[in-house]
Amino acid sequence: MGVVSIWLAISGVVRAQVTPVRTNDFLNSLGADTHIIQGIDAPEQVIAALQYSGLRNIREDATHDPAMHANLCAIHAATGAMVDELPIVDSDPNNIQDSLTQYEALAACGAILDVEGPNEPNNFNFRYLGSTCSVSGSFGACARYQAALYQAVKADPKLAGVPVWSMTEPAAEPDNQGLQFLTIPASAGTVMPGGTVFADVANLHNYVQGNGQTAIADNQAWYAESNAFAQGPWDGLEGEFIGQTWSKGFPAAPVSTGPNMPKVTTETGWPSTNITKDQQGKLLVNVFLSAAKKNWSHTFIYLMFDEPSAGNSGYGLFAAEPSLNTTTATPKLSGTYIHNMTTILHDTTSAFTPIALNCSIPGEPATVHDLLMQKSNGTYELAVWGDQVIGKSNPVTVNLGNSIPTVKVYDVTSGATPVQVLHHVSSISLTMADHAFFIEFGGSGQPTSTLTAIAKPSS
């Protein structure tokens, strides 16, 4: 646990205005992949896991089975969780219509989060209108499918307002179909014509583990969520949707568009097989926070449950359950730490305008990051997290500017109750290592706009 102590000095540093993220918006971004439709997870287990973890979204496979649609709707009714479901690609030539049928079923019960494009067609080939999408041939069928799916969703009144997320691994295309764009620019030189629209949102599998890593490095989560190319083996936005494609080097959108490009992560994680369960838990909390700081609208951890029988040992937030006939969800430390975070931050509405504060952490180290949030009752929650390997730490001073009547400090690894409650302090100090703290102050209906909280925006 990081040591928390009172720091009495008042900094004279000029502070920049920071507008908080709505805490409810952050919570709405959190999700995990489940395998109900694959027959591995039971709906009752998923309900229990959602209720404990506080996660608000699940990602599921495609299905033709109305009973499975009913199961997903039941999960939504019990937990409020929204569903990101993959499209149907096994019923050529009826792929698009069959996909609309499943999405309309989710929309009818209020459970639909989005429409997602095909999953990693470089690894899972499929056919559309008689042609195969394959890295050994052409991604033409992929491109035509994704464009047709987009058009069909936008033309369906039952799916009004539902966003379309792109297929994953578009930059694996062997020929320049233009899938690296959400909308192909004019004169882009792609096979598909300029103006073709594929998606509203870029969709990635930027695993925090990277490719082949066996040990955590400094800024592991931070770099995995980077918009431009980072120092490490992460499958990020650059190489998929900005810069140029990683497979053949086809031009993509300018790197400068990365920070503001609409984007989601539908798979990320690191199994607790070559790192400890404690490291996994700390790292995945850092992933959620880093993604929100860098404007990823949704992040899904792969997976909700360990799946040793399916070759997914260690990936879960919860232990593998012995039977589908159980309502048990046994959290690993990753599930516990996420539960602590969502309990500390609990809020239920975004129907308010956040009030900006003058914020700074003087000399904030490169491996320390921060995210200012505000609840609907006015309470501020400042997340400050360390993204370092075991054995390293950094002291930081968190300036509050004015004397604050009550400041609560939470350690995400210690539970959902404060590790310290401070009274009438103007700043505090934290010893930051490899996990997150939450600093809570203000509230009681109306935030005090004269407070100068913490954290300059991290670079």
SS (H, E, C) 57-85: EEEECCCCCHHHHHHHHHHHHHHCCEEEE
Mean per-residue pLDDT for 78-99? 98
Q: Looking at residue 5, what is its pLDDT?
A: 29
pLDDT single digits (tens) 290-315: 999 999 999 999 999 999 988 899 99
Which of the listed ranges 114-128, 204-218, 388-402 does the model predict with the highest average pLDDT?
114-128
388, pLDDT greater than 90: yes
Domains of the chain with CATH codes: 4-19+354-441 (2.60.40), 24-345 (3.20.20.80)
Q: Looking at residue 324, what is its pLDDT?
A: 84
285, pLDDT greater than 50: yes
Q: How confident is the model at residue 443 (pLDDT cuts 50, 70, 90)?
A: low
How far is the C-alpha of 347 from the C-alpha of 105, rounded, in Å?
28
β-strand pairing of 420-432 with 202-204: unpaired
Q: Looking at residue 409, what is its pLDDT?
A: 97
Q: Looking at residue 55, what is its pLDDT?
A: 98
How far is the C-alpha of 229 from the C-alpha of 235, rounded, in Å?
9
Rounding to the nearest 10 degrees, give the CA dihedral for residues 226, 231, 232, 238. 50
Task: Let me know: does 334 contact 328? Beta carbons within 8 Å.
Answer: no
Q: Looking at residue 449, what is its pLDDT?
A: 35
Q: How confident is the model at residue 230 (pLDDT cuts 50, 70, 90)?
A: low
172: left (phi over 0), alpha (psi -120 to 50) or beta: alpha
Rounding to the nearest 10 degrees, give the CA dihedral for residues 273, 274, 279, 283. -90
Task: Let me know: does 241 contact 252? Beta carbons within 8 Å.
Answer: yes
Q: Looking at residue 211, what is its pLDDT?
A: 84
